[in-house]
Amino acid sequence: MSPRYSPATVVVFCLLMAAAGCAKREESSKAAGNASVESAAPAEVRHPLKGEILQADSARQVLIVTHYEIPGYMPAMTMEFKVAKADLANAKPGQRIRAELVERGEDYFLEKIWPDDTVTVSTLDAAAKALAQDTTIRGKEAYREIGENLPAFTLLDQEGRTIAANRFRGKRVVLNFIFTRCPIATMCPAATLKMSQLQKAAREAGAKEFELVSISLDPEYDTPGVLRDYAEARGLDLANWSFLTGPDGAVRHLLAQLGVIREFEGATIKHTLATVLIDESGRIIYRADGSSWQIDEFVKRLKKS
């Protein structure tokens, strides 16, 4: 006869096992000097992925992607991935992408999604290279004074569209640098809030043809989708406001030429703030350093357009 346990016995047995498990876990974390707190979240594995979007299924919030082989992990195949709302909104069937496949427990999802078609990649790279060369040629004069032109750049906006600096010709532009993970309330979050106040104030003052441009200081993390999420979560009006990102090399040289300092410090970024006004011909006509700039100073200069 095989041993039989009554349901009650089984329950008690399980509780004892759980208690033993707890005690053990406590001991081992004590042994480790409580350095690590055990979390219930399953381990996360990330793999770089390249592929093509077949379809965006907004009802189920998944992207169906045909991807290349992920060496040592997964053969080439078509499968669906959960993605952030903004990435789903940005998705275009037929678009080549690169991304990170994140495996967490039973879940597969894509993060860090970037357009990866040849035209976009080569356009961004060529512009970044030209910008780097320009900084080198300018040498000590890399910093652009008031009266000089905004350097040429090509980046991606929050919808993954390629945007060249000359797209803003004919309009006055207020440009700054921010990053979405900025933890300091008085820095990027305040700068974004102030830009939205400026947008409203300038419109109310009758300024029509102007654009706002916020370039990410943290393009590794701030993909077009992340920027779109950032803007939408804050209810920002993107009618004449672009959030731009792209190759870090391009951002680095823009920062140098526009006099903004960025230093990576552990998981975060230490940086200065500048808000720059560009006229219809692409000339820098005014700038305010730091966070205490006056909205009125910009409004009166935007009204002249």
The residues of the shown chain that bind Cu ion, judged by CB under 5 A, are 182, 187-188
- Which lies closer to Cu ion via its Cβ, residue 90 or residue 223? 223
- Which lies closer to Cu ion via its Cβ, residue 166 or residue 197? 197
- Measured from the CB of residue 271, what is the shortest distance to Cu ion in angstroms? 6
Backbone angles phi, psi at 230, to 5 degrees: -60, -45
- Measured from the CB of residue 206, what is the shortest distance to Cu ion in angstroms? 31
- Measured from the CB of residue 265, what is the shortest distance to Cu ion in angstroms? 12
Parallel/antiparallel/unpaired status of strands 44-57 and 62-67: antiparallel
- Which lies closer to Cu ion via its Cβ, residue 40 or residue 185? 185
- Which lies closer to Cu ion via its Cβ, residue 47 or residue 181? 181
Q: What is the DSSP string of the chain?
A: ------HHHHHHHHHHHHHHHHHHHHHHHHHTTT-S---SSPPEEEEEEEEEEEEEETTTTEEEEEE--BTTTB-SEEEEEE--HHHHHH--TT-EEEEEEEEETTEEEEEEEEE--HHHHHHHHHHHHHHHHHHHHHGGG-SPPBTBBPPP-EEE-TTS-EEEGGGGTTSEEEEEEE-TT---TTTHHHHHHHHHHHHHHHHHTT--SEEEEEEES-TTT--HHHHHHHHHHTT---TTEEEEB--HHHHHHHHHHHT--EEEETTEEEE--EEEEE-TTSBEEEEEESS---HHHHHHHHTT-
User: In this chain, which residue has its C-beta nearest to Cu ion?
Assistant: 182
- Measured from the CB of residue 299, what is the shortest distance to Cu ion in angstroms? 24
Alpha carbon distance 288, 136 (integer Å) = 25
- Which lies closer to Cu ion via its Cβ, residue 154 or residue 192? 192
- Measured from the CB of residue 230, what is the shortest distance to Cu ion in angstroms? 12
| Conformational region of residue 42, where left means phi above 0, alpha means psi within -120 to 50, and beta covers everything else | beta
- Measured from the CB of residue 96, what is the shortest distance to Cu ion in angstroms? 32
Closest CA to 108 of 47, 52, 59: 47
- Measured from the CB of residue 190, what is the shortest distance to Cu ion in angstroms? 9
- Measured from the CB of residue 215, what is the shortest distance to Cu ion in angstroms? 12
Find the distance separating the first CA and the last CA of the chain, reported in whole Å: 94
- Which lies closer to Cu ion via its Cβ, residue 133 or residue 186? 186
- Which lies closer to Cu ion via its Cβ, residue 101 or residue 187? 187
- Which lies closer to Cu ion via its Cβ, residue 182 or residue 302? 182
